[in-house]
Amino acid sequence: DAGVIQSPRHEVTEMGQEVTLRCKPISGHNSLFWYRQTMMRGLELLIYFNNNVPIDDSGMPEDRFSAKMPNASFSTLKIQPSEPRDSAVYFCASSSVWDRETPNYGYTFGSGTRLTVV
């Protein structure tokens, strides 16, 4: 398995533009998590899905952020309009909810997307 795949690796955009980040989870994993990481705030959970359904989006900072998971192999995180304070590294992670009662439970992270909004 190629692991969790995120694209793009780097994104530079101008304030006000729409940004779409993409994630392909590990095949067979049915939980997917979007995180944001900054120096000031560390790793923050934005939203997570179980079986393609959003379970908890309380970490989404505001209405400018939205996330979708149309199928088990793809998710997007969209920011519209983007602002300079959205600059951060965005990570996607996946896990298997079927393992959650077992010691095998854990997250596999992608390499992240470094977003810079100027």
Q: Which residues bind to other proteins, rule: CB under 8 A? A: 4, 42-43, 45, 48, 55-56, 89, 91, 93, 97, 100, 103, 105-112, 114
Closest to other proteins by CB, 110 or 117? 110
Least distance to other proteins, CB of residue 112, Å: 5
In the 3-class helix/strand/coil scheme, how is the chain assigned residue by residue? CCCCEEECCEEEECCCCCEEEEEECCCCCCEEEEEEEECCCEEEEEEEEECCEEEECCCCCCCCEEEEEEECCEEEEEECCCCHHHCEEEEEEEECHHHCCCCCCCCEECCCEEEEEC
Least distance to other proteins, CB of residue 46, Å: 12
Closest to other proteins by CB, 85 or 105? 105
Closest to other proteins by CB, 44 or 83? 44
